[in-house]
Amino acid sequence: ILVNNAGILRDRSFAKMTLAEFREVIDVHLIGSVACTKAVWETMREQRFGRIVMTTSSSGLFGSFGQANYSAAKMALVGLMQTLALEGDKYGIKVNCLAPTAATAMTDGLLAQDAMERLSPDFVSPGLPALVGDDAPTRAILCAGAGHFARSNVTLTRGVHVGGGEGAAARVVANWDEISDRTGEIVPDYGFTQMERELASVPAAAGRKVANG
């Protein structure tokens, strides 16, 4: 079992953030997790069993003012989790994300004392066994804080086929509400699901025209 939990903060609005501050956060959160995962990956493949948890954040999932570097790193870990879960599946390796809300050294001085107590890391850690046990899911994003647990998902709406050519951009704008409608949205099993749905939406006549050049 590997839990990638290293992290730092270099909070600053994007306008004032230096590239060095951006890279430093990426290096610790993302590259640090990559390095640790790389160190155990072959062992897990050989033994055909492994559990990896990436520590993501609501800042990455939903955004947070003044944390462009942190948000980018934390959402990158979700993408890393998605692909490693697919690559590790046949080897019994399950990869998940934990998005904790907890009072740590990184939040020291930012929260009131009563909030610090209610957001103790002790209330987050009970979620870990669900992500690393024999019956653990894979590609799950578990949000945890103050004893509350929820799932977050990257979803895809049904969408609308508007075609191409002249007027296509205007049709995207005109159909924006339907494109955004979350009724019937799915959690794709893999990245190519987007392409498969897009190709399936092309009317048969248009598909023959494309095929014939």
> What values do phi and psi take at 144, rounded to 5?
-145, 140
User: Is residue 91 flagged as an active site residue?
Assistant: no
- Give the C-alpha separation, 153 to 151, whole Å: 7
Which is nearest to 147 in space by CA: 178, 125, 171? 125
Strands 148-152 and 141-145: antiparallel
The amino acid that residue 90 corresponds to is K
Residue of 69, 70, 93, 94 marked active site: 70
CA-closest candidate to residue 36, choices 4, 81, 76:
4
Coil, strand or helix at 206: helix
Q: How far apart are CA 116 and CA 199, in angstroms?
A: 50
Q: Any idea which residues carry the catalytic annotation?
A: 70
